[in-house]
Chain A
Amino acid sequence: MSTLSELVGKETIEKVLAKGRSTGAGFSEIFIEDKRSTSAGLDDGRIEQVTTGRDRGAGIRVVHGETTGFAHTADLSEAGLLQAAEAAAVAAKQGSGGVVTVALGGIDTHQVNDVQILPNEVPKTRKVELLERANEAARSIDKAVVQVSAGYGDSVRRILVANSEGVFAADDQVRTLFRVSVVASGDGGMQTGYDSMGRTIGFELFDLYDVEELAAGAARQAVTKLKARPAPSGALPVVIKRGSGGVLFHEACGHGLEADLVGKGASVYRGKVGEMVASSLVTLIDDGTMSGEWGAIGIDDEGHQSQKNTLIENGVLTDYMWDYLRARKENHRQSGNGRRQSYMHLPMVRMTNTFVINGTSEPDDIVKATKNGVYVAKLGGGSVNTASGDFVFGMTEAYLIENGEITEPLREGNLIGNGPQVLRDIDLLGNDFAMGNPGTCGKDGQGVPVGDGQPTLRVKSLTIGGTAA
């Protein structure tokens, strides 16, 4: 696999950037991507198929005043790139700005992830075997397990970014993922279990984690839920197990701290820097440099080196997350959060790995201190309205807490709360931090890989959307 800088030479890139500015635009950028992926799926006891894919192309962005023009192409020849650059330049501004030249220095690389075994160098047979092992492990848990599907996926994403301000950087991002979903059937109908693991590393993922254990866990979740009772309806204290509830912060405040939404006045956290926005227990970090984690990147998709950013410190809002455009507009530093799904998409402010650091409580004591409530062992996805602050997240594995003890399993449902209120209502924070499942964060139609994490914690009141009185 040739590197991108071999595929598209520096002189060509300089010509393309100059072309982008030829109608008078102040900024031009080229983002080149070459992504190879392999996936394999097992369902109903069969390997359905192995799929390999290749996506390669370039996106060219031109900014003129407040207007961004963008075009992309799968044609990486100099002629193809110049044509896309012209389209982007025309889109940004009609007119002529005369001849512009752009000169770049040497290429920067920032590798935060240490990949041991490139997945595209591993025989496909070994990938398929993992699926079969997971299938058998899940089915062996209980006769009630009636269906298992498992998926393996890896990708090697090479990116190169250059812009007219001299940014010239490259990164290789290797990700490996495994997921299992299980259906169990009983007298009361069907229930499901799900678990996944994924990191920004290679095939050594499977030396670190056991697919059979993952599959068995998903199967036990489904079987346990066959005996589940309807979740309560109404407001109760909620204890969230470590490494399962990072999505709470992703939704309750993460999105609201993205500078593009703040800048448009579409966030409840606008104008709140320096103010107390959460319980003093809460310190929230977004860290793209966390080696190997699902949201880890060497550079963001605007060529800016990834960073560790403190967003909330002891309850006080310290900063938002930034991309190139929003930082330029507000004369702020970029924070390494300009990301995009692929070369076919415009970058915007996105999270990387977002997590709350340890508190001091023993996790067992948090449960014991809760007379009646809900214990959430596994969260599903979520979503937020950043302007009102209202957010939801799903609980896929949850139990009642009665008299300080975890008791009966509960059926699935959403929990709903208001971000600023929930952050203030965190009254106990554990000392058992863990990262959670790999996630895909959706915003404005684009999905990017993100990580999250948190220690066991308690929110003193959240509304649980069940049906039991």
Chain B
Amino acid sequence: MSSGNALQDLADRIVAKAKPGEQVEAYVSRGGETSIRIYEGEVEHFVSAQSESVGIRVIKDGRTGYAYAGTLDESVLSEVFAEARDNVQFGSVDEWAGLAEPDGVAKVPQELWNEELAHFPTAEKIAIAKELEKLTLATDSRIRIDDANYDDAYGETAFATTSGIRAHGRENGCYVSVGTLADDGDETQTGFGFSVGRTPTEFNLGRAAREAADRATRLLGATKPQSKRTTIVLDPYVTAQFLRVLSGSFSGENVQKGRSFFAERLGESVANPLVTLIDDPTNSLAYSATDIDGEGLAARRNVLIENGVLKQFLHSSYSARRGQTRSTGSAVRTGGTPGVSCLAMQLVPGTGTQEELIAQVSDGVLIQMVQGLHSGVNPISGDFSTGASGLLITNGQVGAPIREFTIASTLQRMLQDVVAIGGDVDWLPMSANGMSLVISDVTMSGA
């Protein structure tokens, strides 16, 4: 049986070789990327790359084995299958081990593939990155360029399982980014700007250039602030990073394994009533939008927190079986057995521009950048501490730049301490959206 899709056919062929008593999943993908870096008006590097991979999961008598290879070469496929089979014997028996099964949920049609991008001329991609560097340099005489980049990527995936999953999809996307350096005497500060599109014609180069220059220049002369309790206004980019830190706590698997501070809290108030948070990969505006999850099930919209109340956890087929519930289409692939994660987090926007939100803050800090979320935030205990830079807010106005300080609280408290959510939604090249977010009562540590 041919599906008319070469990857699907390959996945089907692998699964057809399953022996009696074996559950088998084949996950095959291929993709490519173009990466262009411009420095001082010339191409610094041009990377043109193709890659492919195959992962085979075998489950027998409740034991799981997995193997992968970075090639779809026929001669390697049988070796990968043999390795996965061999690995089965070393897994523990797990009564919930198994593959996803078709659940009748239809894919939400989305435009994830853009033909214009697929055929976009290389010379124009180079020209766009050069234009971004030029525009950024022209914004301010104190600005130098670290690098100006054009990147695009495409990917195709296909799943097949002995349990009847057959799914494939493909998507492409592109973005430009620019890193800036602003100098004043011995001092140097940095900034960045970017623009995302399904096709390069959607880029807003002017905005990327302006933001990259502003972020760097407005920190010039920044000093280290005094330690105190304060209110913070997160820039949309920082809000998106904050949302990502929360992602794992919504995983049903983490709840089952005692790694989520939301465990036992379903139906309870876990955030300020202003907060409604959803995970919706079916929204095409999201950079990480997709129509299938990491097990080939249809991606779907899931409400996580509604008006401050915790509504549900997310599940893969494994955590769903274990929790006697249904998959929420939230499986992700990192290794062999699929994990569970938010795919495209979206905080439902409030109203007001960043200026309007700042006008309500008598004494606080606009957080422009954070540093060290990976080292200072523990999503299991909830301890939150991150390096930051930004601008002081006094009587509703932004003022002097500050740097080399931390902001700290706990994730649990910060959700309750949300005092305003902006209407300034920004769709970022990340798996969460951004908007200005005001949180009270955090500790700022400085001098």
Interfacial residues, chain A to chain B (CB-CB below 8 A): 39-41, 43-57, 65-75, 87-88, 91-92, 124-125, 127-128, 146-147, 183, 185, 189-192, 225, 231, 233-235, 264-266, 268, 344, 346, 380-383, 385, 387-388, 390-394, 411-418, 463-467
Which residues on the A side are within 8 Å of B386 (C-beta)? 392, 414, 465
Q: Is the CB of A265 within 8 A of B443?
A: no
Using CB atoms, name the residue of chain A closest to B42.
A66
Using known A-B contacts A233-B443, A266-B181, A412-B385, determine if residue A387 contacts B190 with beta carbons closer than 8 Å. yes
Mostly, the B contact residues are strand
Which of B52, B64, B381 is A190 in contact with, Cβ under 8 Å?
B381
- Assess the A467–B381 pair: CB atoms within 8 A: no
Contact flag A394-B80 (CB < 8 Å), given A55-B70, A414-B386: no
**A414 lies within 8 A of B90 (CB):** no
Give the CA-CA distance A418 to B405 in the complex, in Å: 10
Instruction: Flag whether B21 is at the interface (Cβ < 8 A).
Output: no
State whether the Cβ of B445 lies closer than 8 Å to any Cβ in chain A.
yes
Q: In whole angstroms, what is the CA distance A416 to B370 when docked? A: 11
**Contact at A51–B336, with CB atoms within 8 Å?**
yes
**Which chain A residue lies CB-closest to B52?**
A74
Q: Is B66 a contact partner of A51 (Cβ separation < 8 A)?
A: yes
A–B pairs, 9, beta carbons within 8 Å: A46-B92, A67-B42, A231-B385, A234-B227, A235-B446, A380-B374, A393-B375, A394-B374, A412-B383
Report yes or no: B371 in contact with A390, Cβ–Cβ below 8 A: yes
The answer to whether A124 and B376 touch across the interface, beta carbons within 8 angstroms, is no
B188 at the A interface (CB under 8 A): yes
B83's nearest neighbour on chain A, judged by CB, is: A52
Closest to B219 in A: A388
Residues 413-447 of B, flagged 1 when their CB comes within 8 A of A and 0 if not, give 00000000000000000000000000000011111
**Minimum Cβ distance to chain B for residue A52 (Å):** 4
Q: In the complex, which residues of chain B have a beta carbon less than 8 angstroms from the beta carbon of A127?
A: 90
Bound CA–CA A466/B405 (angstroms): 11
Q: Is the interface of A mostly helix, strand, loop or mixed?
A: strand
> Is B375 within 8 A of A381, CB to CB?
yes
Contact B188 A463 (CB under 8 A): no
Contact A383/B371 with A47-B90, A71-B48, A466-B443 known, Cβ cut-off 8 Å: yes
Contact B408 A466 (CB under 8 A): yes
Considering the chains assembled together, what is the distance between the CA atoms of A74 and B445 in angstroms?
50
List chain A residues, Cβ under 8 A from B64: 48-49
Within 8 A of A (CB), among B337-352: 337
A87 vs B407: C-alpha distance in the bound complex, in angstroms? 48
Asked whether A54 lies within 8 Å of B47 as measured between CB atoms, the reply is no
**Is there contact, CB below 8 Å, between A387 and B46?**
no
Which B residue's beta carbon lies closest to that of A191?
B381
Distance of A409 Cα from B70 Cα, bound (Å)? 45
The 0/1 profile, CB within 8 Å of A marked 1, for residues 15-48 of chain B is 0000000000000000000000001001111111
Query: Hey, which chain A residues are within 8 Å of B371, CB to CB?
Result: 383, 385, 390-392, 416
Taken together as a complex, chains A and B put the C-alpha atoms of A189 and B43 apart, in Å, by 53
Chain B, range 63-93, C-beta contacts under 8 Å to A: 64-71, 73, 76, 79-80, 83-84, 86-87, 90-92
What is the minimal beta-carbon distance from B26 to any residue of chain A, in angstroms?
A: 15
Q: Give the A-binding residues of B (Cβ under 8 A).
A: 39, 42-52, 64-71, 73, 76, 79-80, 83-84, 86-87, 90-92, 94, 144, 146-147, 181, 187-190, 219, 224, 227, 256-259, 261, 335-337, 371-372, 374-376, 378, 380-383, 385-387, 389, 403-409, 443-447
The residue in B42, B387, B409 that gathers the most chain A C-beta atoms within 10 A of its C-beta is B387
A74 touches B372 (CB 8 A): no
- What residues on B are CB-neighbors of A417 within 8 Å? 404
Q: How far is the CA of A127 from the CA of B87 in the complex (A)?
A: 12
Chain B residue at minimal CB-CB distance from A394: B375
* Complex alpha-carbon distance, A411 and B382, angstroms: 10
Q: A62–B67 Cα gap in the complex (Å)?
A: 34
> Which residues does chain A contribute within 8 Å of B94, judged by CB atoms?
46, 48
Interchain CA distance A189-B378 in the complex, whole Å: 12
Residues of A within 8 A of B76 (CB): 54
Q: Given A70-B46, A233-B408, A465-B385, are A266 and B146 also a contact pair (CB < 8 Å)?
A: yes
The answer to whether B447 and A234 have CB atoms under 8 Å apart is yes
Task: Kindly list chain A residues whose C-beta atoms are within 8 Å of the C-beta of B337.
Answer: 48-49
Given A39-B335, A57-B70, A189-B261, A463 and B446 contact (CB-CB distance below 8 Å): yes
The interface centre, meaning the residue of A44, A53, A266 with most chain B CB atoms within 10 A of its CB, is A53
Tell me, in angstroms, the Cα distance from A381 to B43 when the chains sit together: 33
What CA separation (Å) do A73 and B48 show in the bound complex? 10
Cα distance A57–B188 in the bound complex, in angstroms? 40
| Residues of B close to A393: CB separation below 8 A | 372, 375
CB neighbours of B83 from chain A (8 A): 52
Cα separation A464 to B446 with both chains bound (whole Å): 8
Select the residue from A91, A125, A390 with max chain B CB neighbours within 10 A: A390
- Interchain CA distance A55-B90 in the complex, whole Å: 23
Tell me the minimal C-beta distance from A289 to chain B in angstroms.
29
Query: Hey, which chain B residues are within 8 Å of A75, CB to CB?
Result: 71, 73
